[in-house]
């Protein structure tokens, strides 16, 4: 019961934040027009459709589940294997 009013409130606040930031920055920097509230809310939904999804947790949250296999491997490594892994990681990403 609490979720729906909270989601509506968050969407309303985010719409105003997008509108404020767009109207404050982009007309001077990129010479764009100003947005009204409904356009800002539509832009927010469009960005969510294009760059995210509507699953709980949003995009990029699946890494913890995918990374859990590596976590298990790490726990199964001996101290010597961990130190070799760390050294190889440092060599590759310096």
Q: Could you report the per-residue pLDDT of 47-83, keeping only the tens digit for each?
A: 988 988 666 555 555 545 555 688 888 888 888 998 9
Residue 52 lies in domain: 3-92
Angle at 93 between CA 59 and CA 75, to 5 degrees: 70
**Residue 34 contacts residue 22 (beta carbons within 8 Å):** yes
Q: What is the mean pLDDT of the chain?
A: 84
pLDDT mean over 25-38: 93
pLDDT value, residue 12 = 92
Tell me how far CA of residue 11 lies from CA of 44, 52, 54, 68, in angstroms: 9, 15, 14, 32
Stretch 8-21: mean pLDDT: 93
Calculate mean pLDDT across residues 4-26.
Answer: 93
Domains in the chain, number: 1
Reduce the DSSP state of residue 20 to 3 states and report it.
helix
Largest CA distance in the chain: 60
Which has the higher per-residue pLDDT, 36 or 69?
Answer: 36
């Amino acid at each position: 019961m609490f979720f729906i009013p909270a989601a509506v409130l968050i969407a309303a606040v985010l719409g105003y934040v997008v509108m404020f930031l767009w109207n404050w920055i982009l007309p001077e920097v990129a010479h764009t027009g100003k947005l009204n509230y409904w356009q800002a809310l539509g832009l927010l939904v469009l960005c969510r459709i294009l760059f995210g999804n509507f699953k709980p947790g949003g995009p990029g949250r699946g890494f913890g589940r995918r990374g859990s296999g590596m976590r298990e491997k790490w726990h199964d490594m001996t101290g010597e294997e961990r130190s070799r892994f760390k050294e190889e990681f440092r060599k590759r990403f310096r």
